[in-house]
Amino acid sequence: MIRRGTRRSPRGPERRPEGAKMAALSGRARGALWVALLALCGTVLALLAVVLARTYAPRSPSPAPELWARRSRQQRLEPTFSPQERRELKEALQGAIRMQTVSFSANDQNTTALAEFEPYIRKAFPAVFSAAFIKHEVIGEYSHLFTIQGSNAQLQPYMLLAHIDVVPASPDGWDVSDPFSAEERDGFIYGRGTLDNKNSVMGILHALEFLLRRNYRPHRSFYIGLGHDEEVGGRKGAMKIVAELESRGIQLSFVLDEGSFIFDGIVTGIEKPVASIGITEKGAITANFTVTSEPGHSSAPPKRTSIGILSEALAKLEQHPMPNLFGHGPEILMFEQLAPDFSFPLNVIMSNLWLFGPLVGRFLEQTPTTNALVRTTTAITMFHAGVKSNVIPPSANATVNFRIHSSQTVDEVLGIVDKTIDDKRVKIEMESAFDPLPVSPWDDQTFGVQVFRQTIQDVFPDVGSVAPGICVGNTDSRHFVNLTNAIYRFNPVIFKPEDLPRFHGLNERISIEGYEKQVQFIFQLIQNSDISQSTEPHANHEL
Ligand SMILES: CCCCCCCC/C=C\CCCCCCCC(=O)NCC(=O)O
Ligand SMILES: [Zn+2]
Ligand SMILES: [Zn+2]
């Protein structure tokens, strides 16, 4: 008999309790899901709040030191130059460009032109060479050291650096007839050295000349160092100047050299020009790579030739770039400080590098300029092999130039190179090597930083941020580490993307207006350095 209600379907009775269990369970699961969802929303909202707070938090403008604030306009000489003075500025720079002070190598420099440079500057800057409180010395035959004795010996001196020598330039590919003609075209002076670095050599001396002609006597002492072999390492120039100053027991308040610019349009997403002041510079290795093999007749070649083996090793270096180290060095400071200058949404990203750092690192490595900021770069710069088309060459040789990221050392880079090439047939010899330079202080209490901020504001009011930067090349200032911990690299010139290939390349040029601004900057910098700072060391700096 089949009783109603007791009939068991094969699944029914078992299913009901299971279903109830499931329903109860899914009720709990749903609850848990809601809790998780709410927690997630809370976390996302909290993250968003942090991200927005970091993006839009008011940044306190760097306080101008009280002394500058109180100084009346009358006390300060305005950086305005007469038409006659402006002509003089331009012609003096042109004359300097025409002197072919080329450095080919450490042992091959145009010493005739270097020697002619001294009478040239003597004639161009009569007030500098005749002032009773300025001492001029020739160092290492062709370099120059000027000591400007300020009226207040209590103030710690600073130093301005520039270099007279230039890299070679052949006329091929230039728009003007000759890279040493200093031709004026469309408001620009063309020529080797217009940006690197006779603009600074002549700009510093001319600013001082104009101040002296207006009877200005600096309060704070300072030095001007003009090296003659910066492009080949600075051993005979800058290093000798340093040895001289060290022997006199000098300590400097700051050193200012070339090495960075006011960048305009160099970084995607930043509209305004930004001043980047190099607080460090990369290390460097120049290494020679050699492979030797049995020479012989090309009709019966061995399986591998020295050229093939070396090429493979070099290709490995190019195919396996050094690691992206964005966030491990001072480049992070640079982007943190530039964050407000980026347009939306990049400003949000740059203000939150704690979250978006890896993404930004990938973004920066896309162009050679910003790639140089995030890693040790590898550049194969020379390759020599072979003597004749039917001779198996006995050797192949290449030179590779590495520029080392702040967070790496020479030894670490060499370790990676060895591992990457992994071929005992490739011999590596070091030509020169040094670690990245120490990082100079960057805060509003540091005297040099105060002076630069104030002077940029005076002369370039349209500049957005004044940010700490990295000098991706090397400068004479790297030899000055025993004289100060405050070394800065900054050329007060607007630098646009089209200027990049001109640097050490074709059609190097400076606009006449840009050069006048550079002279104004130094004119103001000397005056702005004449305040005393509260943290001034109490020492007598009789020079
Ligand atoms: C918003 C910041 C972007 C920064 C991008 C950096 C771009 C760098 C471009 C040009 C500046 C290069 C200056 C390097 C000065 C080096 C002087 C020199 O030639 N020294 C000899 C040498 O390094 O071999
Ligand atoms: Zn230079
Ligand atoms: Zn150079």
Cα-to-centroid distance, 411 and ligand 1 (Å): 24
How far is it, in rounded angstroms, from Cα 516 to Cα 294? 60
Q: Which two tokens stand for residue 273?
A: 């020009």
The pLDDT of residue 80 is 97
Q: Which helix (H) or strand (E) holds 282?
A: none
- Span from the CA of 475 to the centroid of ligand 2 (angstroms): 6
What is the signed CA dihedral for 234, 238, 244, 249, rounded to 10 degrees?
Answer: -120
Is 498 among the annotated ligand-binding positions? no
User: Could you tell me the domains of the chain?
Assistant: 66-281+438-528 (3.40.630.10), 283-434 (3.30.70.360)
109 Cα: distance to centroid of ligand 3 (angstroms): 14
SS3 content of the chain, % helix, strand, coil (to 5): 40, 20, 40
Residue 219 labeled ligand binder: no
Q: Please, are residues 221 and 149 in contact by the beta-carbon 8 Å criterion?
A: yes
Q: Does the active-site annotation cover 165? A: yes
Ligand 1 site residues, Cβ closer than 6 angstroms = 196, 231, 258-259, 263, 266-267, 274, 276, 369, 469, 471-475, 500, 503
Q: Which of 503, 504, 510 to mutate to test the pocket of ligand 1 (most atoms within 8 A of CB)?
A: 503
Handedness of CA 207, 498, 104, 183 (dihedral sign): negative
pLDDT digits (tens, 9 = 90+) for 49-81: 777 777 877 776 565 666 566 565 457 899 999
| Burial of 543 per CB tally in 10 Å (0-12, 13-18, 19+) | middle
Residues within 5 Å of ion ligand 3 by Cβ?
196
Give the distance (Å) from ligand 3 centre to CA of residue 397: 25
**pLDDT tens-digit series, residues 258-295:** 999 999 998 889 999 999 999 999 999 999 999 999 99
The active-site residue, picked from 230, 281, 476, 530, is: 230
Model pTM greater than 0.80? yes
Residue 353's φ and ψ, nearest 5 degrees, are -70, -20
List residues, by chain if needed, whose CB lies under 5 Å from ion ligand 2: 196-197, 258
Is the separation of the CB atoms in 322 and 416 below 8 Å?
Answer: yes
The residue whose CA is least distant from atom 15 of ligand 1 is 259
The ligand 1 atom at the shortest distance from the C-alpha of residue 167 is: 19
The pLDDT of residue 20: 61
The β-bridge relationship of strands 103-105 and 108-109 is antiparallel
Three-state SS across 389-430? Answer: CCEECCEEEEEEEEEECCCCCHHHHHHHHHHHHCCCCCEEEE
CB 147 within 8 A of CB 131: no
> Do residues 250 and 157 lie in contact, with contact meaning Cβ atoms separated by under 8 Å?
yes
pLDDT values of the chain reduced to their tens digit, one per residue, 543 residues: 333 333 344 444 444 556 566 566 678 888 888 888 888 888 888 887 777 777 877 776 565 666 566 565 457 899 999 999 999 999 999 999 999 999 999 999 999 999 999 999 999 999 999 999 999 999 999 999 999 999 999 999 999 999 999 999 999 999 999 999 999 999 999 999 999 999 999 999 999 999 999 999 999 999 999 999 999 999 999 999 999 999 999 999 999 999 999 999 988 899 999 999 999 999 999 999 999 999 999 999 999 999 999 999 999 999 999 999 999 999 999 999 999 999 999 999 999 999 999 999 999 999 999 999 999 999 999 999 999 999 999 999 999 999 999 999 999 999 999 999 999 999 999 999 999 999 999 998 999 999 999 999 999 999 999 999 999 999 999 999 999 999 999 999 999 999 999 999 999 999 999 999 999 999 999 999 998 765 565 455 556
How many Cβ atoms sit within 10 Å of the Cβ of residue 20? 10
Distances (CA, A) of 332 to 40, 274, 289, 354, 373: 29, 16, 34, 10, 10
Q: Is 311 exposed, middle or buried (0-12, 13-18, 19+ CB in 10 A)?
A: middle
Find out whether 231 is annotated in a ligand binding site. yes
Sequence-ordered list of residues with C-beta below 8 angstroms from that of 3, at least 6 positions apart, any chain: none
